[in-house]
Structure formats: structure tokens, C-alpha cells
Copies of this chain bind each other. A is one copy, B any other.
């Protein structure tokens, strides 16, 4: 199974997603700085994958500390967590994974340096394995919502490449295909960084799942033509009430789906839910450099010096979402908030 981030023995093993689909380059990230930079530059992206990478990065920090002083080791790991927390603001899985590793660190504080190192690596690997298992569970819960036959629109990449493996939105699609459903995926190209064009098409073509690439602009027309029976996307942070932040343009897809009476689903592990935020308005939206818009892949698209507004995410209000699918089932209206909270607590208690 394709897994974009794992532990290699020598470091954090990743596929450099910015080079896809032109080149398939795998590297071992040896330092925490390298992990942080890979998250920042989007070689590692997708909320769950970022969480896994941060956890492995903290385990790597423990490994890099050569001494035997538990206190110094703990400080080094905490500093690594703080560094990684500063990479990207929107995906909450990053902070969730760092918090979980810090809690583990605290639980291990009585151990010697070797014990702490071992315990942290085990915890990071557990986060990764759980993420894959959760994606499979999301797929199982979500497949029932997919049409037996028809077109499914997805935005950005919420696939194997965005997770430990298997994917959230694409996990739902994979599970539906495995269940024998006759599905064609429509992949929004997802400007500016083209995760749909570069990554979603690539991983679905590898799995021989039928996929058609469209410009983000064509989603409405495709719905007018009756070719879309469901939409399914991932999420970077979900507020307590079900409002969901995801890649810029997701909100437009949701509004179009509503206009056409097409169900719109969000698929994400419960670690994406931020119960501390009552609604989506408070989710911090990362704004990225305008050159992503004006010069994608180093090609000039616009006049020099043009003003650019480049938000990386938007928030889809819960009323546009038919169901939020997590590893523990589907949260639906009218009790979406309550069901969502129960799913979060159910996993955190386990």
C-alpha cells in the first residue's frame, strides 16, 4: 500500500509530493528541520499525513539526542514539537499529534533516555498505524453513501498521499470500488498547487480507478450535465458544530452541490475535529505566497507585480454537509455536533 510517510530506521521516509507526478522521489529526512521544511514546502501535505510526520519528527528528535540525560532529551523533543507546530496553521491534526506525543513524553518522564526514545518511536508508529486503520474504517462507513453507479467529485487530494495510507475521501471511494460499485471519479485540479491534477489522478490511476481530470471551473457545468452523483472531500480542521475547513475551493463545490441537490460528504479521522472551536469562523486560514498563483511549477501565469490573494483553505458550513464520516461512523443532521463529539471521545477513550 502506498504510504507517503513512515519510519525507515534512519529517519522519516517520505515521497516528495511536490515532484509528483513527474518524478517519484523517496527520501529519508534525518533532522527535525528537514521534517519541518518538508511540511512547510508541501512535500508532506494532507492533514493526517502532517500529523504522522510531526509525530515521527519528534521521535527522530529523541533519537538525535545522543546523551543519556532524560531532562535534556525531554527538552529536545519539546523543542522539536514547538518547531513543527510553527510550520502550518490550519490542519489541526498537526497540533493533535504534537500534543499526543508531548503527553506520551510526560508519561515516559520517569524512564531513562533509551526508554523514552523507544516509547516515543512506538507512539509515533502507533499514530501512523492507527491513521491507516482509521482510513480503512472511514472507507467502510463511507462506502454506503456512494452511488452504486455514477460520478463522484473530489477536490484536492484526500488520498493515500494525504494520510498514513489508503486515504480519507479517496478511502471512501476505494472502499466503494472494492464493494463493487461502478464509479468514475472527477478530480478537481485544485489550483493553485494542483493536488488534484498531480496527486489524486496519479494515485487513482495506479489503482486503476477510473478518473477524469477537470478544471475547478468545470465542476458546476459537470453537475448541470447530471454527471455528479456525490461529492466527497477531506478536511484540515472541523469545528465542534461540523463546519469544515478544507482546501480552498471546497466551499464552492459544496455550494454547487447544494444547488444541484447532490450530497456532499466530508471524510476525516476524528483527530481532525477541534472541539475547542464552536464554529468554523475561528479556524485560522493560512494565506500563502502569491507566487503559487502567478508562477505554478515555475511557469509565468500573470504580469509581474500583480497583487494576489492566495488563501489556502476555506470553511464549508455544516448545513452544506450531508455527513461527516470518521473512523467511528457518520455524523449527520440534525445531531451532527453531538454525534461528532461522541466520535471524538470514543476514539480518545479507546
- Name A's B-contacting residues (CB within 8 A): 21-22, 186, 189-192, 194, 197-198, 201-202, 205, 210-222, 224, 247-249, 251-252, 255-256, 258-259, 285, 290, 293-294, 296-303, 305-311, 314-315
Picked from B212, B252, B302, the residue with its CB within 8 Å of the CB of A307 is B212
Among all A-B residue pairs, the 5 with the closest Cβ atoms: A217-B249, A221-B314, A220-B252, A299-B299, A21-B303
* Contact of A218 with B311 in the complex, beta carbons under 8 Å: yes
Q: A21-B300, A197-B306 are in contact. List 19 more A-B contacts (CB 8 A).
A: A22-B300, A186-B309, A198-B302, A205-B303, A211-B307, A212-B307, A214-B310, A215-B216, A215-B293, A216-B249, A218-B248, A218-B314, A220-B249, A220-B251, A221-B248, A222-B309, A224-B251, A252-B252, A255-B255
Chain B, residue nearest A314 (CB): B221
Chain B, residue nearest A252 (CB): B220
Q: Which residues of B contact A305 (CB under 8 A)?
A: 205
Chain B, residue nearest A315 (CB): B224
* Contact of A311 with B221 in the complex, beta carbons under 8 Å: yes
Picked from B252, B297, B311, the residue with its CB within 8 Å of the CB of A301 is B297
* Contact of A220 with B306 in the complex, beta carbons under 8 Å: no
Q: Which residues of B contact A224 (CB under 8 A)?
A: 251, 314-315
* Contact of B202 with A303 in the complex, beta carbons under 8 Å: yes
Main secondary structure of the interface of A (DSSP, over half): mixed
* Contact of A219 with B302 in the complex, beta carbons under 8 Å: no
Cα–Cα distance between A106 and B85 once the two chains are bound (Å): 75
Q: Which residues of B contact A251 (CB under 8 A)?
A: 220-221, 224
Cα–Cα distance between A122 and B233 once the two chains are bound (Å): 57
Cα–Cα distance between A204 and B309 once the two chains are bound (Å): 16
* Contact of B302 with A197 in the complex, beta carbons under 8 Å: yes
Picked from B21, B190, B212, B218, the residue with its CB within 8 Å of the CB of A217 is B190
* Contact of B252 with A211 in the complex, beta carbons under 8 Å: no
* Contact of A213 with B307 in the complex, beta carbons under 8 Å: yes
Chain B, residue nearest A22 (CB): B300
Cα–Cα distance between A47 and B204 once the two chains are bound (Å): 38
Q: Which residues of B contact A214 (CB under 8 A)?
A: 293, 308-310
Cα–Cα distance between A212 and B311 once the two chains are bound (Å): 13
* Contact of A296 with B299 in the complex, beta carbons under 8 Å: yes
Cα–Cα distance between A254 and B211 once the two chains are bound (Å): 27
- Minimum CB–CB distance from A227 to chain B (whole Å) comes to 8
Q: Which residues of B contact A189 (CB under 8 A)?
A: 191, 293, 301-302
30 A-B pairs (CB sep. < 8 Å): A189-B301, A191-B191, A192-B217, A194-B302, A197-B301, A197-B306, A201-B306, A202-B303, A205-B303, A205-B306, A212-B307, A214-B293, A214-B308, A215-B249, A215-B310, A216-B216, A217-B249, A217-B252, A218-B248, A218-B310, A218-B314, A220-B251, A221-B285, A221-B311, A221-B314, A224-B314, A224-B315, A259-B259, A296-B299, A299-B299
- Minimum CB–CB distance from A80 to chain B (whole Å) comes to 33
Cα–Cα distance between A249 and B221 once the two chains are bound (Å): 8
Q: Which residues of B contact A249 (CB under 8 A)?
A: 215-218, 220
Q: Which residues of B contact A310 (CB under 8 A)?
A: 214-215, 218
